[in-house]
Amino acid sequence: MSRSQTNAKLIFILLLFFIASIVYIEETNNKEKYSSNPTNINVHPGDSIQRAINNAKSGDTVIVYSGSYKENLVVDKSIDIISNPGESNDTVIQAANTRKDVFHVTANDVTISGFNITGAKNKAGIYYSGSDGNITRNKLVYNEYGILLKKSNNILIENNTLFQNQYGIHLENSNNNWLNRNNISNADIMVDIDGISLEDSDNNKLINNIVSNTWRGIYLSDSSDNELNKNLASANYFSVTLENSDNNKLLNNTINLHGYTFSINLGNSQNNILKGNTAGLSTEIKVVYSFDSKNNTLEGEQYIVNEQGRVLAVESK
């Protein structure tokens, strides 16, 4: 074998070794990043939840035991943060700084479950910007926003109780989320206190939620292709309002009026379907729509706001 052939063979062997080393390092890093044996990290009163979050790796679970914690938490990795099972009512996280979110989440695949979250008077109890997360079984009180989603997709918001927040659940530029069996209420109706509101958010499902004693119970702005099904809107000033929102389905909701005359208000909204909605005890709902709202499938008593701003009854066909 010539020297040139020997050198070529040596170079080929070294190249194979180099490639194998890279593959091994990459596999090792992936195993460390997504451990097949996730760890539970326990937090007790007097411990720092944030320190536990910092020490966790993707896939880990932070379990918080009952007690009071005063922190603003930043979550930037895919972990579960839960109260110790059976202790959710007694596991209180209060904002240390009222101008910061209690939970500020900027990662995918994060679960927050079983907490009493309070004190973010100028921010959110839970702020989430990411995808594929779960927000369940929390109680959120005295925050500006109870739950705020921004640019978030595929989030499950389920079985949460929200009380005395300026905005209960607010979605902004957030699509394909599921809001199920949440209870949003306030002690009294005050102006600009909202229950569930969607802004520039499409393809979301609002199912079996209860909204009461708010200024605007369920409010959609520039939001399309959403489904509102089997919700109860009770004793709100404006019950259900759609503005510049198209192709939504409002099905089998119960709307008990309080202050405003109409159950459902459509403003410049097209191709929406209303079916099976009642005002309680088989009473017809009252629907009002602007003159520029077209091609909607409506039901109940209907009224139109003409170009001069007058409200006129629409004769049933």
DSSP track, 59-87: T-EEEE-SEEEE--EEE-SS-EEEEPTT-
Show Cβ contacts of residue 71 under 8 Å, excluding neighbours closer than 6 positions.
48, 49, 50, 93, 95, 96, 102
pLDDT at 26 over 80: no
Mean pLDDT of all residues in 211-215: 94
pLDDT of residue 9: 56
Contact criterion met (CB below 8 Å) for 43 and 64: yes
Q: pLDDT-based confidence at 275, cuts 50/70/90?
A: very high
Stated pTM of the model: 0.87
Mean pLDDT of all residues in 203-210: 98
pLDDT at 185 over 60: yes
Contact criterion met (CB below 8 Å) for 139 and 115: yes
Q: What is the dihedral of CA 26, 30, 33, 36, to 10 degrees?
A: -150
Mean pLDDT of all residues in 211-229: 97
Q: Which two tokens stand for residue 53?
A: 């979050």
Q: Express as a percent the part of the chain with pLDDT over 90.
A: 79
Mean pLDDT of all residues in 13-17: 52
Contact criterion met (CB below 8 Å) for 73 and 94: no
Q: Express as a percent the part of the chain with pLDDT over 70.
A: 87
Quote the domain boundaries for residue 161: 3-313
Q: pLDDT-based confidence at 283, cuts 50/70/90?
A: confident
Number of domains in the chain: 1
pLDDT of residue 23: 43
Query: What average pLDDT does the structure give for the chain?
Result: 90
Task: Give the domain CATH number at 213.
Answer: 2.160.20.10
pLDDT at 5 over 80: no
Mean pLDDT of all residues in 9-17: 54
Range in 26-35, 170-179, 255-264 the model is least confident about: 26-35
Strand arrangement, sheet containing 161-163 = 67-70, 91-94, 116-118, 139-141, 161-163, 183-185, 210-212, 232-236, 254-257
pLDDT at 214 over 60: yes
Q: Looking at the DSSP assignment, which residues form a beta bridge with residue 149?
A: 128, 171
pLDDT at 171 over 70: yes
Q: pLDDT-based confidence at 31, cuts 50/70/90?
A: very low
Mean pLDDT of all residues in 143-163: 98
Strands 311-313 and 301-305: antiparallel
In the DSSP assignment, the letter for residue 282 is T
Contact criterion met (CB below 8 Å) for 241 and 228: no
pLDDT at 227 over 80: yes
> Does 28 or 176 have the greater pLDDT score?
176
pLDDT of residue 85: 84
Q: pLDDT-based confidence at 89, cuts 50/70/90?
A: confident
Mean pLDDT of all residues in 33-47: 82
Q: What angle do CA 31, 33, 34 make, to 5 degrees?
A: 65
Distance, CA of 219 to CA of 207 (rounded, Å)? 15
Q: Which two tokens stand for residue 76?
A: 């930037």
Q: Name the helix (H) or strand (E) containing 305.
A: strand 301-305
Show Cβ contacts of residue 171 under 8 Å, excluding neighbours closer than 6 positions.
149, 152, 177, 197, 198, 199, 201, 204, 223
pLDDT of residue 13: 53
pLDDT at 300 over 80: yes
